[in-house]
Amino acid sequence: MCEKNSTAEYKSSAADDKPHPGDLVQLAAAMMATGVQTGVLKYKNERFNTFKSTDPVMKQAIQRAMNIMAQMRKSLVSNVPPAGTPTVNKCKACPINKQCSFSSGK
Ligand code: SF4
């Protein structure tokens, strides 16, 4: 969601004192897609953090998002999916686990 000059991610989960690393990457991707320099992560338990694209933690998340995008582009060209890290629990919750040939949940 884009609000004024920032983008915001509202998470249905709670967070402790630090945001989840995957959520930072998701926020970084949203900031890159929208072109805004500030992002806000809000968690179910009212915890929230505001980040600027120049913050060290966000620079790291932006780099991770760029690496993931490069991997996705390579996969699209080669038609070979990235290795990923499927687990029984991840695949069990995945909406396409019945169709996926890589599923660990079968
Ligand atoms: S079912 Fe397939 S797409 Fe879903 S998490 Fe597992 S490996 Fe990934």
Specify the pTM: 0.75
Pocket of ligand 1 (CB under 6 A): 84, 86, 90-91, 94, 96-97, 100, 102-103
Low-confidence ranges of the chain (pLDDT < 70): 105-106
In-domain check, residue 98: no
In order of 11, 30, 67, 78, 89, the CA distances from 93 in angstroms are: 17, 24, 25, 28, 6
In-domain check, residue 103: no
| Residue range of the domain that includes 55 | 2-93
Indicate the number of domains in the chain: 1
In-domain check, residue 18: yes
In-domain check, residue 30: yes
In-domain check, residue 11: yes
In tens, the pLDDT along 68-96 reads 999 999 999 998 888 788 899 999 999 99
pLDDT score for 103: 87
Distance of CA 41 to the CA centre of its chain: 12
Ligand 1 center–CA 4 separation, angstroms: 36
In-domain check, residue 56: yes
